Structure 1
Amino acid sequence: MPHRPAIASMSLGQACVHNLSQKLDQAQKYGFKGIELFYEDLETYAIINEGGNAPQDLIEAARSIRQLCDNREITIIGLQPFMHYEGLWDRDEHARRIEQLKLWFHLAKILGTNLIQIASGFLGESELNGDLNVIVNDLREAAELGMMEEPAINLSYESLAWGTYSDTWEHSWTIVEQVGMPNFGICLDTFNIAARVYADPTTRTGRTPNAEADIKASIKRLVQTVDVSKIFFVQLVDAERLSIPLIQGHEFFVEGQPARMSWSRNCRLFYGEQEFGAYLPIRDIAHAILKELGYQGWVSAELFNRLMSSPDQNVPEQLARRGALSWKKLVNDLDLQVV
């Protein structure tokens, strides 16, 4: 299966700012074959069109969104992010999250996808247990429930660069291996890989002290370690180098929020957008995943950027156009086979 371009639905404008139909129109116009559907988009659509976010409202919204995508020949490649699940100290809350996951299984089927992304938790240590056995058992429980569905639901686990206990691709790969289920794989996000190993937005340079050597070693380990069949999908974006460190007093600083998370929410860029300040070694990471490992399948541009909060109705088209240009550059740079 050759590489196929997708774009995260939130990247065409935040859920509560821009209309989903408008965002899908722009995705179709600029040649995207698929989208990652954010739960926030689904919930917002349900509230606006069904009058609430109760399970039945969400189910009806999923049916409508599936039709919107079908009409535009856009595939929904996955529903995401299922968050703050694994390792919860509060086991009653764990049980509630399991029930929510079962609803997500139902929503995924209606949407026409068999993929749900789980992001590593970033709650405080008072809420999350860092015991690897607990984390693995929780995620295995989710995978086992997914295997009971017909057809089976796949779960793709991603380490966020600011995760409390899982913040590198190595952490997520260890968890995938220990869960040991056929429907439990990894999501490789070029931003999160680089943001943890190479980048530090709190520094003047925007880089960690040994950035070049550390990212080179990490990429080498990635190629040597990861089983390509367990890569369920890839997210590929860059980010902006800040002119001043993201510390207290910076416009993006949020008290109590990890700096990398604040940076991620405001400063992601599409691949190849050096004109906007992109500086991460995304080409090298992408080459490792798409060429050296030989991954084939969906490649999604999961962008978060402060521009998305603008009410300007031209934003969805502006971002879709930029995303399409980025994809063309990636295809040319890496000589990719696409459909």
Structure 2
Amino acid sequence: MPCRLAITSISLGRCSAGHSIIRKLDVAKLHGYNGIELFHEDLLKVAEQLPGDFIQNCELQAAHAIYKLCQGRGLTIVSLQPFLHYEGLLDRQAHLKRLEQLLFWFKLARALHTDIIQIPSNFLPASELSEDPHVAIEDLKEVADLGLRQNPPIRFTYEALCWGTRCDLWEHSWDIVQAVDRPNFGLCLDTFNIAGRIYADPSSLTGRTPDSDQAVQESIDRLKAIVDVRKVFYVQVVDAEKLAKPLVQGHEFYDAEQPARMSWSRNCRLFYGEKDRGAYLPVAKISQAIFQGLKFEGWVSMELFNRRMQDEDKEVPEELASRGALAWRKLVEDMRLKVDPPQGSEASINGVQRPVGVP
């Protein structure tokens, strides 16, 4: 398929800041997005506003309603995410509880008419996770096999977070995908998380790791040489801001309970090409390896996390949707992408109704 533009729902503003799913879907449609990665936080916010005492029933109602909202705007729900802190748990009772939650997520996925659930690499403290990589692999085989038994089957995208406890490099995630060896278990390649681990160091004076350029070149050479593009289920393209001072104690984004890269990720991601806002990662070089080297085609998501999402300013969803669409046009031009035509126009959202039961 040609490349198609998506964005993560949370990237258009946090619901805790008053940015509703309806408003976010409207601006996504307006700015030509083809699809949405639905963040569970947005689904839960709708569920909490529905009548009823049993939260799972409310979540299912919310999932059906959000699907209708997306369907009315011509938006595909690409995935449901993030299914957090799953693989490698030392507490096997906690592992079983997560499996129970996953079975409910299968119901949510069916209601949303999506076949993908995203699993980020676990970033719980090392004291809570097994040092044996085979434990994580067997856990992920288990979810893949459960997904294959669904009708229709559920796929999983596994993503290496640059602050992950046991898996923080795309190479680690690729090794895991190969070891799991299931047709429904693949990669999400995220330009931020690739560069954020081997190129960037927000806690340093330079904002960069030693030998960062060489590390990036060697990494993308490996990427082009060993990754089977058929196992890349979708791609997230995003950059990040170079900080004026190191993210250490005393910095406004410092959080003693978070790795520096995690705090930086939550506050400072930027869209592709936003150099005027301080973007400095080698995202173009990594994107070339993905789109021209691997010849990836499919869903491309602009997964932003930034402090702006938490502002209560009513213009936040419109601003972020516009910036993401501008970044997409630049990416298409720079990478010479073959793309599906945009879905939205201002006229096309007029008259779209909210489903019954959506607050």
TM-score range, shorter chain: over 0.9
Note the C-alpha offset of 1:39: 0.6
* 2:130 aligned with 1:116: no
Trace 1:260-339 onto structure 2 (pairs within 5 A): 260-339=261-340
| Alpha-carbon distance between aligned partners in 1 of 2:197 and 2:51, rounded to the nearest angstrom | 40
The aligned counterpart of 2:3 is 3
Deviation at 1:50, TM superposition (A): 4.1
Matched, 1:75 2:79: no
Structure 1 portions without partners, runs of 5+ = none
C-alpha distance in 1 between matches for 2:336 and 2:54: 44
Contact 1:159–1:169 under 8 Å retained in 2: yes
Give secondary structure in 2 for the equivalent of 1:100. Answer: helix
Structure 1 residues 1-339: aligned runs within 5 Å = 1-17=1-17, 18-50=19-51, 54-339=55-340
Alpha carbons 1:267, 1:305 under 8 Å: kept: yes
1:13 deviates by 0.1
Find the residue that maps to 1:234 and give its secondary structure.
strand
Give percent identity, aligned residues only. Answer: 55
Using the TM superposition, give the Cα deviation of residue 71 of structure 1 relative to its aligned residue in structure 2, in angstroms: 0.7
Cα-to-partner distance string for 1:72-114 (whole Å, 9 max, x where unaligned): 1100000000010001111111111001001111111110110
Report Cα offsets for 1:129-187 as digits up to 9, x if no partner: 12111000000000000000011100110010000000000000000000010000011
Separation in structure 1 between the aligned mates of residue 45 and residue 94 of structure 2, nearest angstrom: 24
Residues of 2 paired with 1:36 and 1:316: CA distance?
Answer: 15
Match of 1:157, SS? Answer: strand
C-alpha displacement at 1:44, in angstroms? 1.0
Say if 1:126 and 1:239 are closer, same or farther in 2 by CA, change over 3 A: same
Q: Say if 1:132 and 1:311 are closer, same or farther in 2 by CA, change over 3 A.
A: same
Measured in 2, the distance between the counterparts of 1:77 and 1:163 equals 24
Report the number of matched residues.
339
- TM-score, scaled to structure 1: 0.99
Could you tell me how far apart the structure 2 residues matched to 1:53 and 1:317 are? 34
Given that 1:39 and 1:81 are in contact with CA atoms closer than 8 Å, whether structure 2 keeps it comes out as yes
Counterpart Cα distance in 1 of 2:115 and 2:207? 38
- State the structure with bigger RCO (CA 8 A, min sep 6), 1 or 2: 2
* Contact 1:157–1:187 (CA under 8 A) maintained in structure 2: yes
Distance 1:14 1:178, change over 3 A: same
The one-character-per-residue Cα deviations of 1:309-336 (angstroms, maximum 9, x if unpaired) are 1000000000000000000000011111
Q: CA deviation at 1:51?
A: 5.2
Report deviation, 1:53.
Answer: 6.7
CA distance in 2, matches of 1:252, 1:156: 29
Alignment-mate amino acid for residue 5 of structure 1: L
SS at match of 1:82: coil
Measured in 2, the distance between the counterparts of 1:15 and 1:126 equals: 32
* Aligned residues: CA RMSD: 0.9
The match for 2:347 is none
Supply the AA of the counterpart residue of 1:288: A
Is the 1:228–1:293 Cα contact (8 Å) retained in structure 2?
yes
Deviations 1:218-241 (A, max 9, x none): 011011011000001101000000
Question: What CA distance in whole angstroms lies between the structure 2 residues aligned with 1:268 and 1:215?
Answer: 19
Tell me how far apart the structure 1 counterparts of residues 126 and 288 of structure 2 sit (CA, whole Å).
36
Deviations 1:13-41, CA, capped at 9 Å, x for gaps: 01322111001000000000001000111
Deviation at 1:256, TM superposition (A): 2.2
CA distance 1:52–1:8, change in 2 (3 Å): farther
Give the direction of change, closer, same or farther, for the CA distance of 1:262–1:51 in structure 2 (3 Å limit).
Answer: farther
**Conserved 8 A contact 1:46-1:52:** no
CA shift at 1:127, angstroms?
A: 1.1
Contact 1:50 1:60 in 2 (8 A): no
Amino acid in the other structure paired with 1:194: A
Tell me how far 1:55 sits from its aligned partner. Answer: 1.2
Q: Which amino acid aligns with 1:320?
A: A
User: Residue type matched to 2:28 in 1?
Assistant: A
Does structure 2 retain, via aligned residues, the 8 Å contact 1:46–1:53? no
Q: Is the contact made by 1:161 and 1:195 (CA closer than 8 Å) also made in structure 2?
A: yes
TM-score, normalised by the number of residues in structure 2:
0.93
Name the amino acid aligned to 1:93: A
